[in-house]
A and B are shown apart, each in its own frame.
Chain A
Amino acid sequence: VRAALALQGYEFDEVQIAEITLQFSRIDSVAQIILAWPLSFASEAAPVFRP
């Protein structure tokens, strides 16, 4: 989280970083559900762009 914050240009104090890290850990746990979801290699994303 610290590296990603720096990469994005954020500057936070330790209390704020702890809060953001907690939130990111919740996102991470939810993300595991989709990362483990079986998909065929060629399955496409749901595109937002409609020409």
Chain B
Amino acid sequence: VTGSAADIVRRIRAGASSAASVLTETKARIEARDPNLNCFTAATFERASREAAAIDELRARGQPLPPLAGVPYAVKNLFDIAGLTTLAGGKVNAGNAPAVADAPLVARMRSAGAVLVGALNMDEHAYGFTTENSHYGTTRNPHDRARVAGGSSGGSAAAVAAGMVPLSLGSDTNGSIRVPASFCGVFGLKPTFGRLPRSGTFPFVHSLDHLGPFASTVTDLAAVYDALQGPYPADPACAQRAVEPVSAALTLPHGIRIGILGGWFHEWADPAARRAVQLAASALGAARAVELKGAEAARAAAFIITGAEGGALHRARLITQYDAYEPLSRARLVAGSLIPASWVVQAQRVRRQVFRETLDLLDHFDLLIAAATPVVAPRIGTETLLVNGRSVPARASLGVLTQPISCIGLPVCTAPLWPGDADAALQTGGLPLGVQLIGAPWREDICLAAAHALERAGVAGFRLPLSVRSPPLDGAS
């Protein structure tokens, strides 16, 4: 069983394990488990061997070890990895030249001593919430291989959930970290918009793209987030803030004011999602329901901005290579490129107004709680979802609770809960469902401290799926 990143670092520091032996174990786990899940699109074991050897050499020389020394990790395949073509889930990118350098966040992970073992599957060009990728295959949910892992960072969440790596990186434009974290039962952090540099990653929607980590514990999530932070002047979208470390401050401040998001967030949460919120709120001592009045408008604004910017980004290639694009999203991309400019401007104006109104709300609350997904992970191929009696298109609706928050750039930590434990009548099939812990801009520390409180209380937490502890299902691929 994979240890946490903190356990691995402890073992390597103590000499109980070498980085090379950790890598050997990790490689064996990936080779045993990934064929059933399809998280990885490329392995980088040669590079990993070099990085692990460098850590072991540091230790042999008695030199200080970096904070993530010898910890294996993998990244969504929209991150540049030197020597590898950046696929961003697209066949249309497969002929591109290999990246000449690592993305800044990959370089920061390397500086922190982490060991890169591969690139991970995703929805094509991050336009999806399920990681049903027609070119590179569907990533399956480790807790039930008949179900989706969520997306678009599905490989990133599932690889951590299956215990193949303790850490991974992904991106979140409309919920692409929070939705798969919810479905796969891992912790995920979407930092404040602009906190982390996005250079060296394949873009989707410049107005909304965020990058962030996944982990199996909050301590690990905080450690990797600390390693990723810092200004990056070459990236104009980066806010250039100094590192604000959170690892040493994972205690929730006394007297914290917590609101439970109602209205839109209640309407679009099924009984299991509502139960998850209730469990988290109860554990954190929160009882006050509040409404983010512009939630529906913010979701609509995110939808329009995404369609327009995503469509514009791909328009030239859609004209010449339409058939090479993902059948599940190419018509949406083209339709997005037809959106009138006046709608986009209106969407950006709505975004600004909802942001200002939310700041007023955050004058009265330090933390807001909402479900991350309206339902537990649906079955692969699901076209329609039933949420509280409303039938909606599945792939477009899985981000209905995440889009309003990323639209206005607030930091969110998603914590995995298991609402079926508390109420068997919910019929969750033992599946997880994440809760969004939402803070004011730049207050990732509050989000992570709340997640840590839930984890320590035993309300939220990682569980190794039965599927990786039992023999593969017949016919699973």
Residues of chain A whose beta carbon lies under 8 Å from any beta carbon of chain B: 1, 4-5, 8-12, 16, 19-24, 26-27, 30-31, 33-35, 37, 39, 43-50
Contact = CB atoms under 8 A, between A and B. Distances in A.
B343 A35 contact: yes
Interface string B237-273: 1000000000000000000000000000000000000
B206 A48 contact: yes
Nearest to A24: B335
Interface in B197-240: 206-207, 236-237
B428 interface: no
B353 A43 contact: yes
B348 A27 contact: no
Contact of A34 (B207, B297, B337, B338): B297
Q: Which of B334, B347, B349 has the most CB of A within 10 A?
A: B334
Contact of B315 (A8, A22, A35): A8
A23 B329 CA distance: 10
B350 A23 contact: no
Contact of B348 (A24, A30, A37, A46): A46
Q: Which of A23, A27, A30, A46 has the most CB of B within 10 A?
A: A46
Interface size class of B (residues with CB under 8 A): 35 or more
A48 B350 contact: no
B205 to A, nearest CB: 10
Q: Which 3 A-B pairs have the closest CB atoms?
A: A45-B348, A23-B335, A33-B300
Q: Which of B206, B315, B319, B396 has the most CB of A within 10 A?
A: B319
Contact of A26 (B322, B351, B396): B396
9 contacts: A1-B338, A8-B338, A12-B322, A16-B322, A27-B339, A39-B350, A43-B352, A43-B353, A47-B348
B346 interface: yes
Given A20-B334, A27-B307, A34 B315 contact: no
B366 interface: no
Nearest to B296: A33
A20 B331 contact: yes
A15 to B, nearest CB: 10
B318 interface: yes
B442 to A, nearest CB: 15
B334 A10 contact: yes
Contacts of A46: 207, 348-349, 351-352, 355
Q: Which of B206, B300, B307 has the most CB of A within 10 A?
A: B300
Contacts of B338: 1, 4-5, 8, 20, 24
B183 interface: no
A50 to B, nearest CB: 6
A1 B11 CA distance: 61
B185 interface: no
B462 interface: no
Contact of A48 (B207, B296, B300): B207
A45 B345 contact: yes
Interface in B291-311: 294, 296-297, 300-301, 303-304, 307
B352 A34 contact: no
Interface string B318-329: 110010000000
A45 B349 contact: yes
A17 B375 CA distance: 33
Given A24-B338, A31-B339, 5 more contacts: A22-B331, A37-B346, A39-B350, A43-B353, A50-B236
B297 A10 contact: no
A12 B49 CA distance: 49
Contacts of A50: 236-237
Contacts of B348: 45-47
B196 to A, nearest CB: 15
B354 to A, nearest CB: 9
B362 to A, nearest CB: 17
A10 B319 contact: yes
Interface in B158-215: 206-207
B262 to A, nearest CB: 19
Contacts of B343: 31, 34-35
B336 interface: yes
Contacts of B301: 34
Contacts of B393: 26
A22 B297 CA distance: 22
B451 to A, nearest CB: 28
Nearest to A44: B352
Contacts of A48: 206-207, 237
